[in-house]
Every structure is written in structure tokens, then in C-alpha cells.
Structure 1
Amino acid sequence: MTARELDAAGIHEPGLRAAYTHCRDLNARHGKTYFLATRLLPVDRRPAVHALYGFARWADDIVDDLASTATAAERAAALTALEVQLESGLRDGRATEPVIRALADTAGRYGIDHRHFADFLASMRSDLTVTGYASLEHLGGYMHGSAAVIGLQMLPVLGTVTRHEEAAGPAAALGIAFQLTNFLRDVGEDLDRGRLYLPADLIAAHGVDRARLEWS
């Protein structure tokens, strides 16, 4: 994290600056396109975006890291531990883990609804047991937690001037659009993890089923 970004955001306490810097490093290392996109944002908003990314990356890695030998039960336990840390950090702001500390500070600064983080973790947890979706309607609940809430988290950070009620729908829809695009891009990678997000009824309408995708 550059000192200029932290200073512009009014983040001065050394430990908190270190927490945000840690999140920025995660973004730069693992989310290169997202990281580059943050360079287009106002300098004072970048630390908050890095904090949101750091949290999402942490949870996603627990569930999806192919290099990990952790069992499903161990991944579930890790998600539970993350959830406990999150709830504590959001409640009293005294987290020692850097990602949670930066996230809690961001949530407080921008008034982000804590339910968005809980919904995100719920979708991540479902990845440990759900391997496919029968319909787009069935997929909708997952996409709310994995994608729509990301758009909703970003609304206050971006300084949206439109009334929240008017902006929330398009923000959620944009998050879902990104998610659907990722599903199309990552079919092979997701199948390697034992999952298929493309709804069975939609691909069947085009003469495709899961077995054919796995074969190809």
C-alpha cells in the first residue's frame, strides 16, 4: 500500500496501515486484473477495495485452493474459524488478523451492511457440498452470496450518489454478470474441483450435459 493512498484515506495508525498494506499485497499477487482496476479509482478509495478483496480471497482460497490437501471437513472448519474472527472483528473492531482488521475498519468507515459478508461466507460454504445446479433459479441463491453482495459492498465505497434503493439492483446485477462470465470461462477448472455451475436445464436445451463437458 502506498503511503499516499493510506494518507488520502485518513488511515494513520501504524497497525491498521500494515493491515491494509497486507490486503493490497494479496490483491497485487492474486488478483492482477482487479488490482490494475483499482488504479482507476480515486486514491482514497483504494485501501477499502483492497480490504474487501483480501477477505473474499481468503474465503475463496479456503474452499478452492487445488494445491491444498485439506479435506472438506477441514475446509469447513477453516471457514467456521474465519466466520468467528469476522463476527468478532465487526463487533468490536479489535481483530489482530490483518485482513479482518482492515475489513472491519472498511465496514465501519463506509457503513457496509454486515449481512453481505455473512451471505458471502454462506455461498462459499455451499461450495463444499453442492456439486451442481438444476436451474438458474436454483443457482440464484448461490450467486446472491458469491457475487451480488460484492456489488452491494462496493456501492458505499465508490461514493454512489444515487439513492441506495435505486443503485442496489444494478450493482447486484453487475456482480452476477461478472460471476456468470466467470462460470463460462472456468468450466474446466470448476469440473476439476467437482463442481458445475452452469444450470443443467440450460445446457440441456443446447444438447449438452455434465458428462459431455467432463469428457471434453
Structure 2
Amino acid sequence: MNQKTWIEALPELLEALGETAWMVGWAFLIVVLVGTAVGVLLRLWASDGLTPSRGLYAVVGAVVNIARSLPFLILMIALIGFTRWLVGTAYGPTPAIVPLAVGAIPFYARVVEAALREVAPGKIEAAQVMGATTWDIVRKVLLPEALPGLVAGATLTLVTLIGYSTMAGVIGGGGVGDFAIRYGYQRFNEPVLLMSVVVLIIIVQLVQSIGDWLVSRMAHRRG
């Protein structure tokens, strides 16, 4: 089998990067939307929340903890049937969005809950005195005040999703992970495999740097 040099493999790598961007981008959007909603509910239902509910908090918290404890590769395989039912196929970048989102939502939900917990109680009490409803407090106090923590958590979640996406290549999910397996590992092509690793490191560093910059800007404005 003829081995491609890393330069000859660039077109395939660019295609793989596009697939990674597609699956990670959509998964990240779903995770932020759903994870934020779940995190807010967990904070509201906590014993010191605005609408405490021991039963709801215990049930939702248990589901989140169980989902977080599953290794992503096992979760991805376990969801093959559900993914096929939902999307029509279990292989490719689009179906990979399903396990990526399901795997990261519990993680981000806990990040949101922790960030909201850091909001000063005095600001919440002031809003209550002014007659704000629970959802007014969520929209106008909790989420805005917790924004730096939410952005930091979203950055960490995006980095995690990039890592998860590489594992999607194990079951034909496409992306850089699939490229590294097919063109690097299976063909014993170490330069191509190394190029895949370097590209992923650069992407992660870029994402983390942008996230850190946004958080520092927010903190500076608050200061």
C-alpha cells in the first residue's frame, strides 16, 4: 500500500477538519442550550435555590451523574440504535452529533449549576425585594452575573467535545479522528498521524486562548 506524505494528505485532512467543525459546532450549540436549561433547573431546585424541590433535584441530579460517569466510547456505542432511529444512520459526521451532545450536556449542566451558585445572594435578594419573578431573576440576575463562569465552562466543554469527536472516528464518525485512524494508524504512516495530533493541539490551544481572552475581558469590565 502506497503511503501518502503529509502534504499529499492535506486535502483529506481539510475535509476531515470540515467534518469535525460540523459535528462539534452543532453539538456545542445543543449542549449550551440544553445544558444551560438543565443547569438552571438544578440550581432552582437545590435546597438553597429559589424554588427548592428535593425530589426533582434528586432525580435530575442522578440522571446527570449517571450520564457523566459513562465513558464516551461506551456511551457512543450504546446510542447507536437511538442515533440510527433519530437520524436514519449511525455513521458519519451528522449522526456523531447525537452522542457528542448527549455526552457533554450533563457535564455542562453541572458547570452551569456551579457558576450560578457563585452569584452573590445579596443581588438575588435585592431583585426579590423589587418584586422580580423567578424567571426574571434567572434572566436578569443569575445568568448575567454568572456569565464569566459560563463562558469559561463553555470553553472547557468545547475543548472536551473536540476530544470526544476524535473518538467518533473509531465507529466511522468522520472528522480528524477518522482521518488519523485511516490514513495514519492503519497505514503505519507516522508523519500523517503526527500531523493529525499537531492540528488537534493547535485547534485546542486556539479555542482555549479565545475563551480565556473572553473571560478576562468580562472580568476586566466588571472590575
Q: TM-score, normalised by structure 1?
A: 0.39
Q: Which has the higher contact order (CA 8 A, sep 6+)?
A: 2
Radius of gyration: which is bigger?
2
Q: TM-score, normalised by structure 2?
A: 0.38
